[in-house]
């Protein structure tokens, strides 16, 4: 079974937007993109997500439980989906 510690990188994504004004700088938006990309790549390399996983959008991790390796527990899937959902929504809403 894959342990929840594999999703630690994404925990910070849920806090995006706190303390930020309505206008996000290009640098902040790029930081969001970089963190989403890194989280996706790291979770694929650790075997949490399948190689074909997509970070955001209708086919993204938040909407596709089949993006996860079969050994990943439901609790980890739900937590990681929520993290991706928030990070992707943050980017879409503000960048």
Could you please report the per-residue DSSP string of the chain?
A: -B-GGGGHHHHGGGGTTTT--SSPPHHHHHHHHHHHHHHHHHHHHTTSB-TT-BSSSTTBGGG-GGGB-TTB-HHHHHHHHHHHHHHHHHHHHH-
What pTM did the predictor assign? 0.76
The pLDDT tens digits for 43-83 are 999 999 999 999 999 999 999 999 999 999 999 999 999 99
What residue numbers bound the domain in which 68 lies?
26-94
Say what the pLDDT of residue 18 is.
42
Is the residue at 83 inside a domain? yes
Within a domain: residue 68?
Answer: yes
Query: Is 17 within a domain?
Result: no
Percent of the chain with pLDDT over 90: 75
Number of domains in the chain: 1
Within a domain: residue 19? no
């Amino acid at each position: 079974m894959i342990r929840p510690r594999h999703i630690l990188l994404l925990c910070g994504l849920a806090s995006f937007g706190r303390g930020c004004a309505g206008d996000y700088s290009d640098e902040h938006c790029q930081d969001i993109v970089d963190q989403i990309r890194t989280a996706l790549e790291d979770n694929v390399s650790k075997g949490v997500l399948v190689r074909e996983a997509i970070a955001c959008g209708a086919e993204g991790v938040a909407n596709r439980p089949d993006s996860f390796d079969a050994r990943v527990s439901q609790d980890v899937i739900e937590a990681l989906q929520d993290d991706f959902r928030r990070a992707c929504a943050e980017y879409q809403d503000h960048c």
